[in-house]
Amino acid sequence: MVILRYLVVLALSAICATLVYVITLNQAEYVPYLIISGIMLTCYLIFELPLQLILNRKPRRFNFKYLLIYTVSSFVVWLIMAVLFEPYNPIGSILASYEIYLFSVLFALIFWLWDSILVQKVAVK
């Protein structure tokens, strides 16, 4: 049952992150939602799920320390993705754009909220 909750957190986080990404960039009619959701789900699965499993050894609902850890991890993932998908763009210009910081915080916040609501609820009892 707990594994199902982890999977639901991943799926809901990917869906919400995709909606935030599309709405923020004002590209609602041009963006393939399924591809972006798949990318978001893969990133959450590879980077955030192991971190979530480590942090949930000592579960704490809505802990700001966990949010900070998720935010730093999200920033690193966004930086890696920006370098991979825009290899000709220098790192200085990537770091100068506000999107990397905005999406890092928003996507970490989304994951943290779903984790606190669905998984930590079970682990605390």
Q: What is the number of structural domains in the chain?
A: 1
Please indicate whether residue 82 or residue 44 has the higher confidence score (pLDDT): 44
DSSP state letter for 89: S
Residues 6 or more apart from 107 whose CB is under 8 A from it?
A: 13, 17, 20, 40, 74, 78
Q: Record the pTM.
A: 0.85
Q: For position 87, what pLDDT does the model report?
A: 73
C-alpha neighbours within 13 Å on the C-beta side of residue 2: 10
Q: For position 86, what pLDDT does the model report?
A: 79
Residue 65 has pLDDT above 90, yes or no: yes
Residues 6 or more apart from 118 whose CB is under 8 A from it?
A: 5, 8, 9, 12
pLDDT, one tens digit per residue, over 8-58 is 999 999 999 988 888 887 766 666 788 888 888 998 999 999 999 999 888
Residues 6 or more apart from 61 whose CB is under 8 A from it?
A: 116, 120, 121, 124
User: Which tokens in the block code for residue 94?
Assistant: 């990537």
| Interval 77-89 mean pLDDT | 83
Range of the domain at 88: 2-124
Residues 78, 104 contacting (CB under 8 angstroms): yes
pLDDT band at residue 121 using 50, 70 and 90 as cut-offs: low
